Amino acid sequence: MYLYKRIVQAKLYIDNHFGSEMDLDNIADEACFSKFHFIRLFKAIYDSTPHQYLTRVRIENAKKLLQEGNSINETCFMVGFESVSSFTGLFRRYVHLTPSAFQRQFMEREERIKNIPLQFIPNCFAEQKGWTQKSNFQEAV
Amino acid sequence: MITKLNHVSIFVLNQDSAYEFYVNKLGFKVHTDAPMGPGMRWLTVCPPGQPDLEITLMPIEDGMMFKDGAAKQMRELVKKGTFGFGVFECNDLNATYEELKAKGVVFKKPPTKEFYGYEALFMDDSGNWFSLGQKK
């Protein structure tokens, strides 16, 4: 179990420091593994190399930042990428949308949730909660 | 013909605290978070690998769903750990156990080899418990 703790600590370190420049060799040293051994164990547990995992964490956090309304430029640098073009390319590869298309799609959905929330709630629950009685939650015709 | 399950409800004592648990500790994604008026919120989350399964974090409140003191009874039952709402799955039980423990998740049972498989049991912030198994 101690071996797992060391790999998990390394993974949590990546989760919490993805925005900074990251030397994965250092992380392997901190976990007291050789680089080769660390990559092998990490991949066995998480099905990706530490570098692949770091990229995925950066992209997932980029999605959250875009959902919060941050610009693409700001998001790119906040999650630790050094160039907007490589960020955009990787984002598109993982999410199958450009960052701007992703942000637009999310904002449009949020607007629909705000204006016609009953479209997103099964009617049985909405009725039990009395939400179908309230005229301001009526679906737009 | 029924083709799949798309909503399931977990009864929680507090939606804000449940959000913190399911999203920030377990790593679930927010599917729909709709304010429905003062003190009311429709909140569903989904496990990262199942974006179309909405888990409704349902607050236990007096109203049409819980009448005549039923809300109070239900809250007591949830707090006591009466309900086990389901079984989650992970790729590596030991690693997931260590990570969730590091994030403050309370386990009733550590990873244990049972005759039916390798399993741990954890509780959410309200008292509901879940089995966590390793994908074969």
Q: How many domains does chain B have?
A: 1
Q: Which of B42, B56, B64 sits opposite A117 (nearest CB)?
A: B42
Q: Which of B32, B40, B97 sits opposite A120 (nearest CB)?
A: B32
In a domain, B104, yes or no: yes
Cα A81 from Cα A99, distance rounded (Å): 14
In a domain, B1, yes or no: no
- The whole-number pLDDT of residue A57 equals 97
Nearest CA in chain B to A112: B34
Side-chain-side CA neighbours of residue A92 (13 Å): 10
Size of interface A-B (CB pairs under 8 A): 58
Two tokens, residue B67: 């009448």
- Residue B47: which CATH number? 3.10.180.10
Contacts of B56 (CB under 8 A, 6+ apart): A125, B7, B8, B9, B10, B42, B43, B44
- The whole-number pLDDT of residue B37 equals 87
- The whole-number pLDDT of residue A16 equals 93
- Asked if the model's pLDDT at residue A74 lies above 70, the reply is yes
Domain with A23, as residue range(s), is: 2-114
Which residue is associated with the tokens 């690998």?
Answer: B49
Question: What are the start-end ranges of the H helices in chain A?
Answer: 2-17, 24-30, 35-46, 50-67, 72-78, 84-95, 99-115, 123-128
- Please report which confidence band the pLDDT of residue A31 belongs to, taking 50, 70 and 90 as the band edges: confident
In a domain, A85, yes or no: yes
N residues, chain B: 136
In a domain, B52, yes or no: yes
In a domain, B84, yes or no: yes
- The whole-number pLDDT of residue A2 equals 80
Q: Three-state secondary structure along A21-39?
A: CCCHHHHHHHCCCCHHHHH
**Angstroms from B99 CA to nearest CA on chain A:** 6
In a domain, A133, yes or no: no
Q: How many domains does chain A have?
A: 1
Degrees, nearest 5: CA angle A111-A84-A50: 95
pLDDT tens-place string over residues B47-88: 999 999 999 999 998 887 888 899 999 999 999 999 998 999
In a domain, B34, yes or no: yes
A42 closest CA partner among A60, A24, A57, A18: A24
Higher pLDDT, A33 or A11: A11
Show residues of chain B in contact with A121, CB under 8 Å: 32, 34, 42
Give the residues across from B42 on adjacent strands.
B34
- Please report which confidence band the pLDDT of residue A140 belongs to, taking 50, 70 and 90 as the band edges: very low
What is the interface pTM, i.e. ipTM, of the complex? 0.86
Cα A18 from Cα A87, distance rounded (Å): 14
In a domain, A97, yes or no: yes
Nearest CA in chain A to B35: A114
Q: Which of A4, A129, A134 sits opposite B98 (nearest CB)?
A: A4
pTM, two decimals, is 0.91
In a domain, A110, yes or no: yes
In a domain, B94, yes or no: yes
In a domain, A128, yes or no: no
Two tokens, residue A109: 């959905």
Domain with B44, as residue range(s), is: 7-134
- Asked if the model's pLDDT at residue B95 lies above 80, the reply is yes
- Residue A87: which CATH number? 1.10.10.60
In a domain, A126, yes or no: no
Show residues of chain A in contact with B95, CB under 8 Å: 4, 7-8, 11, 45-46
Q: Do B40 and A129 touch (CB under 8 A)?
A: yes
CB atoms within 10 A of CB A131: 21
In a domain, B2, yes or no: no
